[in-house]
Amino acid sequence: MTFGLSESLKVLGLGRDLSAQETSAAVAEIMAGEAPEALISAFLTALHVKGESTDELTGAVQAIRDRMSGWDLTGLPSPLMDTCGTGGDGANTVNISTAAAIVVAACGVPIAKHGNRSASGNSGSAEVLAELGVDVDAEETVVRRCLIDAGITFLFAPKYHPALRFAGPVRRQLPFRTLFNLIGPLANPARPDFQLVGVPGERQAELVASALARLGSRRAAVVTGTDGLDEVTLGGLTRVRWVESGVVTFKTWQADDFGLAATDAGALRVSGPPESAALITRFLAGEPGPVRAMVLANSAAALLVAGVADTVRNGVERASKIVDSGAAAQLLERWRRISRSAP
């Protein structure tokens, strides 16, 4: 008998974890468009009530990777980095990870940013980049050209994971975050070597870090702020799960480690993508303040993961020089122009 959603529900109903293979089979059934919404809802609810396991997350990611639209890495810069997080902190802050991606790319680390519209806030990477003038829905040849000629590109998740649409209606109806909310950073078609992953909660961070280790991540930092942000934070401790060579270690960062002043998350709140884009533009123009501090901290963490900085303090120094030189703003302008060029 082929294992699928119905069989998985019997296992979950006993309070037992699914294996990676069992979860992969169940998710494959969803992505094939063969599963009734009632079964999808029951499956996601049962996982949520029990609590998802590392095997279950890893199996789901494997199913999605097997079915995502392929991305030929031939001729592209390497090693690649991504700053995609899971979203879901509900803080409605300026899009820090997107601004950091621009700075890190300007520091010479090629960025293949995987992203979508907002999961819980009001300013997801796709919306903010569109406000900044980047064509987030560009043709594949243009997406590749951006990476080659600008050192940064955006992979809009729905284009590369079309089969996830079958779970979409159910996910929108459920009043809680599901297994699928954790998958984004783990399913980048570019298979980045380095990742900075923001996650809003400790349990989710442990799952994502363990899954990255099992899936062969070269190096990653999974970060959670004690103030509730799914970013490197300056408003409390940043809890860091450092993933390297299949091993997860734990550390913490605080503002002093970066040589930056403490920053309250309330100073980062925005009303929507236009305000977020405006604040990022002003930051890239050299404006001081809390947005600059937060973006520099997250850029520094990414540079440490990529092996470009020796410490996060050194990363802040490198990122500051790049921003103040105008190189990051120039990179955004180049990216904007290339993204809107003809295929």
Q: Cα separations (Å) of 259 from 107, 198, 287, 295, 315?
A: 19, 21, 18, 13, 10
Q: How confident is the model at residue 116 (pLDDT cuts 50, 70, 90)?
A: confident
Q: What is the pLDDT of residues 83-95, one digit of tens each?
A: 988 877 777 899 9
**Residue 338: what pLDDT?**
98
Tell me the residue range of the domain where 196 lies.
81-338
**Is residue 180 predicted with pLDDT exceeding 80?**
yes
Which two three-digit tokens encode residue 261?
Answer: 């002043």
Same domain, 96 and 48: no
pLDDT for residue 290 is more than 70: yes
Q: How far apart are CA 306 and CA 284, in angstroms?
A: 22
Average pLDDT over residues 242-247: 97
Confidence of residue 259 (pLDDT cuts 50, 70, 90): very high
Q: Does residue 72 lie within any of the structural domains?
A: no
How far is residue 46's CA from residue 16's CA, in Å, rounded to a whole number? Answer: 10
Task: Indicate the DSSP class of residue 93.
Answer: B
3 pLDDT more than 90 = no
Residues 288 and 151 in one domain: yes
Q: What's the mean pLDDT when you consider all of the chain? A: 94
Q: Find the mean pLDDT for residues 182-191.
A: 92
The single-letter code of the amino acid at 6 is: S
Cβ distance 21 to 59 under 8 Å? Answer: yes
Query: Does residue 268 lie in a domain region?
Result: yes
Task: Encode 227-285 in three state secondary structure.
Answer: CCCCCCCCCCCEEEEEEECCEEEEEEECHHHHCCCCCCHHHHECCCHHHHHHHHHHHHC
CA distance 169 to 173: 7
pLDDT for res 168: 87
Which of 42, 67, 92 corresponds to the end of one domain?
67
Which has the higher per-residue pLDDT, 254 or 158?
Answer: 254
Task: Using alpha carbons only, give the angle 2, 7, 8 rounded to the nearest 5 degrees.
Answer: 115
What's 218's DSSP letter?
S
Do 183 and 247 share a domain, yes or no?
Answer: yes
Amino acid letter, residue 320? S
Q: Are residues 256 and 206 in the same domain?
A: yes
CATH number at residue 98: 3.40.1030.10
pLDDT above 70 coverage of the chain, percent: 98
Of all residues in the chain, the percent with pLDDT exceeding 90 is 85
In a domain, 76, yes or no: no
Could you tell me if residue 343 is inside a domain? Answer: no
Residue 203 has what pLDDT? 94
Q: In terms of domains, do 35 and 120 share one?
A: no
pLDDT digits (tens, 9 = 90+) for 25-82: 999 999 999 899 999 999 999 999 999 999 999 999 999 999 888 788 899 999 999 9
Q: What is the mean pLDDT of residues 283-309?
A: 98
pTM of the model: 0.95
Same domain, 107 and 199: yes
pLDDT of 212 higher than 60? yes
Phi, psi (rounded to 5 degrees) for 46: -65, -40
Tell me, yes or no, whether 12 and 97 share the same domain. Answer: no
Torsion of CA 79, 211, 178, 159, to 10 degrees: 30
Number of compact structural domains in the chain: 2
- Whether 297 has a pLDDT exceeding 60, the answer reads yes
The answer to whether residue 74 is domain-embedded is no
pLDDT of residue 34: 87
Q: Decide if 75 is inside a domain.
A: no
Boundary-marking domain end, from 67, 97, 119: 67
93 and 63 belong to one structural domain: no
- What CA–CA distances, in Å, run from 149 to 17, 152, 270, 334? 46, 8, 32, 8
Supply the pLDDT for residue 122. 62
Asked whether the predicted pLDDT for residue 123 surpasses 80, the reply is no
